[in-house]
């Protein structure tokens, strides 16, 4: 396998799993970028070229790096106007012959695909555009996923069994990094570390990633930062699991939220008001549920998602 650009392979002396950690899959979500840099710095590779390096405290292979380098340079969610990287893992498009019409994010998805095909566990670090508590999200709940998300100190877990994410773009697949790895039978989680611009979450996010790496067995207690975490891992049995149920697309690009309604993870009721467009048209919730991913007011785009809703579900 050819190593993708901007990915470092920490190669262990002993056998173990192949684990991938990504930051910057969305280029304007800084928490994941900082965590990747911190881990690379801890093993003295931050100033080294991306490549393969032997690390004694690794078992198997730990691949760590930046999901969408071009988007990071631009400080944007995606590197192109069509679809960002985390909506570009669509099977038909990935397998199509390369074309001059391919957007940058699709080209990067194809570059990452061989790595994902050889990944047993993927942990992709994200942040939300509007205020939010940290949470975990992925496609379908399972006992294999539960083994990992219960180690993360979050109140909520979000799933998308009905493929609601991406409906605003007309996608029939989720098209995300984690959905690609899960679809080939391996384990992937997206960790939403809170609002993307909230630097206060970086230390906690790093601890979460190290906890997950410990659980996979890819690192041992000699890996930088892990010693104190080994004795501190506890299962979180109070998590609530939700499934996305509704996507509301924006009718206009000028939207004003009612006070406090721009925050994720708050219960709303049918008929409650989210806010209003500049022309005075109100947006009311169609059902009871949990408000998620309200788009930051300066990022609202006509025809794309304004907000999502989710409902509580029982574990399988």
User: Cβ(258)–Cβ(176) under 8 Å?
Assistant: no
User: Cβ(35)–Cβ(205) under 8 Å?
Assistant: yes
What pLDDT is stored for residue 94 in this prediction? 96
Same domain, yes or no: 113 and 209: yes
User: Cβ(212)–Cβ(44) under 8 Å?
Assistant: no
What pLDDT is stored for residue 231 in this prediction? 67
Same domain, yes or no: 153 and 220: yes
CATH number of the CATH domain containing 193: 3.40.630.10
Residues in Cβ contact with 267 at an 8 Å cutoff, skipping those fewer than 6 apart: 288, 289, 290, 291
What pLDDT is stored for residue 35 in this prediction? 95
What pLDDT is stored for residue 315 in this prediction? 61
What pLDDT is stored for residue 136 in this prediction? 97
Q: What is the pLDDT of residues 58-105, one digit of tens each?
A: 999 999 999 999 999 999 999 998 899 999 999 999 999 999 999 999
Same domain, yes or no: 183 and 272: no
What pLDDT is stored for residue 197 in this prediction? 79
What pLDDT is stored for residue 1 in this prediction? 84
**Rounded-to-integer distance, Cα 267 and Cα 140, Å:** 22
Q: What is the mean pLDDT of the chain?
A: 94
Q: How many domains does the chain have?
A: 2
Residues in Cβ contact with 268 at an 8 Å cutoff, skipping those fewer than 6 apart: 274, 285, 288, 289, 290, 291, 309
Domain final residue, candidates 203, 219, 240: 240
In a domain, 315, yes or no: no
What residues make up the domain containing 113? 7-240
Q: Which residues of the chain have pLDDT under 70?
A: 230-231, 233, 315-316
Domain final residue, candidates 198, 225, 240: 240
User: Considering the entire predicted model, what is its pTM?
Assistant: 0.94
What pLDDT is stored for residue 233 in this prediction? 67
Same domain, yes or no: 158 and 267: no
What pLDDT is stored for residue 285 in this prediction? 98
**Rounded-to-integer distance, Cα 125 and Cα 200, Å:** 15
Same domain, yes or no: 270 and 151: no
């Amino acid at each position: 396998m050819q190593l993708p650009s901007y990915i470092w392979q920490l190669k262990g002396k002993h056998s173990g799993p192949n684990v991938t950690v990504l930051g910057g899959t969305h280029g304007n979500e800084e928490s994941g970028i900082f965590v990747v840099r911190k881990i690379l710095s801890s093993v003295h590779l931050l100033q080294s070229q991306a490549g393969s390096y032997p690390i004694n405290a690794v078992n198997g292979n730990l691949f760590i790096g930046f999901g969408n380098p071009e988007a990071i340079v631009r400080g944007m969610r995606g590197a192109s106007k069509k679809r960002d990287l985390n909506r570009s893992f669509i099977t038909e498009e990935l397998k199509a012959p390369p074309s001059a019409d391919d957007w940058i994010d699709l080209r990067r998805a194809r570059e990452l695909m061989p790595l994902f095909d050889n990944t047993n566990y993927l942990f992709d670090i994200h942040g939300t555009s509007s205020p939010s508590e940290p949470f975990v999200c992925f496609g379908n709940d399972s006992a294999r996923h539960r083994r990992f998300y219960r180690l993360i100190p979050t109140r909520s877990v979000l799933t998308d069994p009905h493929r609601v994410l991406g409906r605003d773009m007309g996608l029939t697949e989720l098209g995300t990094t984690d959905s690609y790895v899960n679809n080939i039978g391996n384990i992937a989680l997206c960790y939403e570390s809170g609002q993307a611009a909230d630097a206060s979450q970086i230390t906690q996010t790093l601890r979460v990633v190290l906890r997950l790496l410990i659980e996979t067995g890819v690192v041992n207690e000699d890996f930088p930062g892990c010693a104190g975490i080994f004795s501190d891992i506890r299962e979180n049995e109070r998590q609530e699991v939700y499934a996305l149920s509704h996507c509301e697309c924006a009718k206009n690009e000028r939207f004003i939220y009612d006070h406090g309604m721009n925050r994720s993870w708050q219960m709303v009721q049918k008929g409650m008001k989210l806010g209003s467009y500049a022309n005075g048209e109100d947006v009311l919730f169609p059902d009871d549920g949990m408000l998620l991913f309200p788009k930051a007011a300066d990022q609202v785009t006509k025809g794309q998602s304004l907000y999502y809703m989710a409902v509580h579900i029982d574990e399988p």
